[in-house]
Chain A
């Protein structure tokens, strides 16, 4: 199971624990660590695995690490390809997994709206959106040939609001980054970045400041936009969301590289 530490992963993990209870999860969690995740995400990840007694595999692209690939000097699309897409392929190949379960939802983005629950990938992890297996009723075709694999999206039909409602009702732990707090930020081109460590290079005249912010979605900190907010509890976050006028993925800066860019990334193997 792909575990990316965010709210969707938290819900997915919670559902999986329920599904197999009283047995333990029969599969490990896999986290692709780009080394640019928020520190708090990593702490939360390790604490979760520890608390629930789960097997956690963490993978970082070793070549990318050696070359020091980062979102600042190499650009977001190259960085994403090497540290996320290629890293994920490496980890999946190493484990020879038949299936990787992920928390993607159809309401996130247009090309995801057509994703299957059981989504077939070729030997090279390529998604062929024009040639997907039809998926009828609740009958899933799980069969693959050697070397091929499946991406499985049990949360396909959940909306962002469903996720928050469920987290609230089931009292599922999530990282505090989703709640507003005073944090060190930089405003650049109207986008708020949290300065999670000293690796974020400030340009001349730029000044870090402290503001009350939270995140609607979590990823790599230099590529994740914060929103100004004073919602310090889950309840306040949900009420604030109800009146939101911006979609969730607008906080993901890699999506807007080019139109249809998510479909392109997904074809190449991005989760």
Chain B
């Protein structure tokens, strides 16, 4: 054993070598049985990155899985989840780490099945390059085209075309040439900067870490040497972007803005602007625990302090003069739907872009993209794994860059408001108009003055419940009682609405969402004019009731759940609708063939099965006067 000082000397060299290594993140993709996991297992094995205990486990697990007793099933190293081992497929992104003397690698192994397109997009979103596998026996497949298209969409610029299982085609040069030619014939439209084709056998180890003697006709590099030398084109913008993650206030004397530089660089004394307010100041200090810095660049996590006290909060983005972000409440973007529940236009989602979070609606689904052919198709909704171009409208103007210019400030995710699942990923193409040109006109006579004139505050009373549950009947009585107290009222009724404003809408889920959105907007306008507005709509979805509440803004919003059991409603059936629905004559009928999502926390919950409409209306009135 060397002495301590010797060890320190060796270590210095070692650490210098380690810290000078560059990092390459790549993704492997291809069809189901093209051998991705085997390739990664082979890379780890051949670059001697497996530990003895991992190798022992592999030998134990490989027994009986391959025809050749002594061969190892490398895919077992990578397919970590028990379900994958049972099914023999990769269902999620697995991240693997390895390093050679020249470089460190993070590889994302992603699933091949079409139903896991979202996982591939996930893996690709952080990759510099892609290894796209093709089975030499099958050639370019539909999945190959799809994966190539998705890689180009996400902005991957470098493709390694690994033509695998070439051993099963007798290491044939003509097979390799034919596949390469076919791939290039459609990939030239996809905007890759480089495509490097390599004939390999992941199972046998040909052209993985070193050139194969079995293919003397191939003069290029093996996969690992190629990945070691690939210099990815940097797609990072050099414009300064600093999304504020946290306002750092340890005491009254210090106010700093913490975050990571998304792009560009900044020095003490530089002038900066807040994207939302265009307020200006200069960088006073760049603070870190290891002492102040004179400057910082992309990727650095720092705390900035400014010369002036200007209003900045979490979600704001700082930039430099002359290099503004786009700022708008409407934009066009490519969207990849990632959830089993379909996307419904007009439904409200949360959008997270950088450190900004706000509500967003898809105002126009312009077209879906067939990922196998890149064709544009008309669409009314998006299902899991579908890709589309859409227009979006956010509740507040947001600051962004086009994705092609800056990935950090041009990418976003959509979040479902109820389940909180990540339901989609998006890449902004461009802003549609500048939101600041469109603002609310302020009038002298406002809601407060109208309330004074009327002698009562406005409100929206939102009745929800099954068809024939008694919503309209109760609303009618409530209105009479309010009118008797000299209150100004109006009832918006489902059936009446569909005769007029909403006569263009049907009863699909998407149309129901739009129906409720319009009702909520009208209710808001009427309430703003001073009325107590009652709405009587089935409004079966929690999402839309929440949307209605949000549209109401600071107007008082009272959700009344008319909780009448389905059997009771069906017995009443004043319009014979339940009978028709039971006979299958009305599709999408709530309670029969379409879900009613009962409110979890209604403001007023009416147990309506066994009481008269008069009693129930009194209960609403009582609650109203208590609350007001």
Q: A17-B289, A18-B288, A169-B15 are in contact. Are A141 and B254 (CB under 8 A)?
A: no
Contact check, B93 vs A133: say whether CB atoms are below 8 A apart.
Answer: no
Contact of B421 with A by CB under 8 A: yes
* Contacting residues of chain A (140-161) with chain B, CB-CB under 8 angstroms: 141, 143-145, 156-157, 159, 161
A232 and B61 CA atoms in complex are apart in Å by 37
What are the residues of chain A within 8 A of B413 when measuring CB–CB? 136, 139, 141
Residue among A137, A141, A236, A242 facing the most chain B CB atoms (10 A cut-off): A137
Residue of B nearest to A232 (CB): B4
B11 near A238 with CB under 8 A, answer yes
Q: List which A89-137 residues lie within 8 A (CB) of chain B.
A: 106-107, 109-114, 129-130, 132-137
Is there an interface contact between A168 and B80, defined as CB atoms closer than 8 Å? no
A260 on the B face (CB < 8 A): yes
Looking at chain B's contact residues, the main secondary structure is mixed
Contact flags B515-543 to A (C-beta < 8 A → 1, else 0): 00000000000000000000000000000
Contact yes or no, B11 A245, CB < 8 A: no
In-complex Cβ contact of B408 among A132, A138, A264 (8 A): A138
B11 partner residues in chain A, CB cutoff 8 A: 168, 235, 238-239
CB neighbours of A207 from chain B (8 A): none
Q: Which residues of B have CB within 8 Å of A114?
A: 80-81, 92-95
Whether the pair B411, A133 counts as a contact (CB closer than 8 A) is no
Residues from chain B with a CB closer than 8 A to the CB of A263 are: 80-82
If A21-B289, A235-B7 touch, does A137 touch B53 (CB 8 Å cutoff)?
no
Determine which residue in B77, B81, B106, B290 has the highest number of CB atoms from chain A within 10 A of its CB, and name it: B81
Q: Is the CB of B53 within 8 A of A246?
A: yes
Docked Cα-Cα span, A141 to B415, in Å, equals 8
Complex CA–CA separation, A141 to B422 (angstroms): 7
How far in angstroms is the closest Cβ of chain B from A244? 7
B residues less than 8 Å from A260 (CB atoms): 82, 85
Contact call A113/B80, Cβ cutoff below 8 A: yes
* Docked CA distance A161–B14 (Å): 11
B19 within 8 A of A: yes
Which of B119-127, B172-180, B223-231 binds A? B119-127
Decide: B287 and A22 in contact? CB cutoff 8 A: yes
A232 to B4, CA, bound (A): 8
Number of interface residues of B (CB under 8 A): 68
B332 within 8 A of A: no
Cβ of B623 < 8 Å from any Cβ of A? Answer: no
Check if B338 is an interface residue, CB within 8 A of chain A: yes
Given the known inter-chain contacts A141-B422, A235-B11, A260-B85, please indicate yes or no for A24 contacting B250, CB distance below 8 A: yes
Q: Report B-chain residues with C-beta under 8 Å of the C-beta of A169.
A: 15, 19
Contacting residue for A136 out of B18, B256, B411, CB 8 A: B411
Assess the A134–B118 pair: CB atoms within 8 A. Answer: yes
Q: Using Cβ atoms and an 8 Å threshold, which residues of chain A touch B79?
A: 110
- Give the interface centre of B80, B91, B303 by most chain A CB atoms within 10 Å: B80
Which residues of B in the span 39-91 have a Cβ within 8 Å of any Cβ on A?
Answer: 51-54, 57, 61, 77-83, 85, 91
Please determine whether A137 and B288 come into contact, CB atoms closer than 8 angstroms. no
Is the CB–CB distance between B53 and A236 below 8 Å? no
Question: Is B195's beta carbon under 8 Å from chain A?
Answer: no
B136: Cβ under 8 A from any A Cβ:
no
B300-358 contacts to A, CB under 8 A, are: 301, 303, 338, 350, 352-354
Is A48 an interface position by the 8 A CB rule?
no
Residue of A nearest to B18 (CB): A165
Determine the residue in chain A with the shortest Cβ distance to B301: A19
Nearest opposing residue in chain B for A158, CB measure: B97
Question: Could you tell me the distance in whole angstroms from the C-beta of B571 to the nearest C-beta in chain A?
Answer: 36
Chain A residue nearest to B95 (CB atoms) is A106
Query: Which residues from chain A contact B14 at a C-beta distance below 8 Å?
Result: 238-239, 242
Contact between chains at A107 and B303 (CB < 8 Å): no
A246 touches B51 (CB 8 A): yes
The answer to whether A73 has its CB under 8 Å from any CB of chain B is no
Knowing A113-B94, A134-B119, A236-B1 touch, does A139 contact B411 (C-beta < 8 A)?
yes
How far apart sit A109 and B83, CA to CA, in the bound complex (Å)?
Answer: 16
- With beta carbons under 8 angstroms apart, the residue of A129, A144, A245 that contacts B420 is A144
Residue among B2, B53, B106, B419 with max Cβ neighbours from chain A (10 Å): B53
Q: Which residues of A contact B85 (CB under 8 A)?
A: 260
Quick one: given A113-B95, A136-B125, A141-B422, are A259 and B18 in contact (CB under 8 Å)? no
A139 and B412 contact, CB distance less than 8 A? yes
A130: B residues at CB distance < 8 A: 81, 83, 91-92
Closest to B247 in A: A23
Whole-angstrom CA separation of A114 from B96 in the bound complex: 9
Distance in angstroms between the alpha carbons of A24 and B289 in the assembled complex: 11
Which B residues are in CB contact (< 8 Å) with A242? 14
In the complex, what distance in Å separates the CA atom of A114 from the CA atom of B119? 11
A230 at the interface (CB under 8 A from B): yes
**Nearest neighbor of A156 in chain B, beta-carbon distance:** B95
Question: Cβ of A137 and Cβ of B411 under 8 Å apart?
Answer: yes
Which residues of chain A are near B289, meaning CB under 8 Å? 17-18, 21-22
Chain A residues whose CB sits within 8 angstroms of the CB of B95 once the complex forms: 106, 113-114, 156-157
Q: How far is the CB of A253 from chain B (nearest CB, A)?
A: 12
Chain A residues with Cβ under 8 A from B51's Cβ?
Answer: 244-247, 250
Question: How far is B338's CA from A134's CA once the two chains are assembled, in angstroms?
Answer: 8
Q: Does chain A have a CB within 8 A of B588?
A: no
Instruction: Chain A residues near B142: list those with CB within 8 A.
Output: none
A133 to B287, CA, bound (A): 34
User: Interface 1/0s, chain A 240-271, versus B by CB < 8 A?
Assistant: 00101111001000000001100110000000
The 16 listed contacts between A and B (C-beta, < 8 Å) are A21-B287, A21-B289, A22-B289, A24-B250, A112-B80, A114-B80, A134-B121, A159-B97, A159-B99, A165-B15, A165-B18, A169-B15, A239-B10, A245-B51, A247-B53, A250-B51
Which 7 residue pairs are nearest across A and B when measured between Cβ atoms? A110-B80, A247-B51, A21-B289, A143-B420, A23-B250, A136-B125, A235-B11
Known: A21-B287, A22-B254, A159-B99. 10 other contacts (CB 8 A): A17-B289, A18-B301, A21-B288, A22-B303, A130-B91, A134-B122, A139-B412, A141-B422, A233-B8, A236-B4
Partner-B contacts on A (CB < 8 A): 17-24, 106-107, 109-114, 129-130, 132-139, 141, 143-145, 156-157, 159, 161, 165, 168-169, 230-233, 235-236, 238-239, 242, 244-247, 250, 259-260, 263-264
B interface residues with partner A (beta carbon < 8 Å): 1-2, 4, 7-8, 10-11, 14-15, 18-19, 51-54, 57, 61, 77-83, 85, 91-97, 99, 106, 118-119, 121-122, 125-126, 248-250, 254, 256, 258, 287-290, 301, 303, 338, 350, 352-354, 407-408, 411-413, 415, 419-422, 425
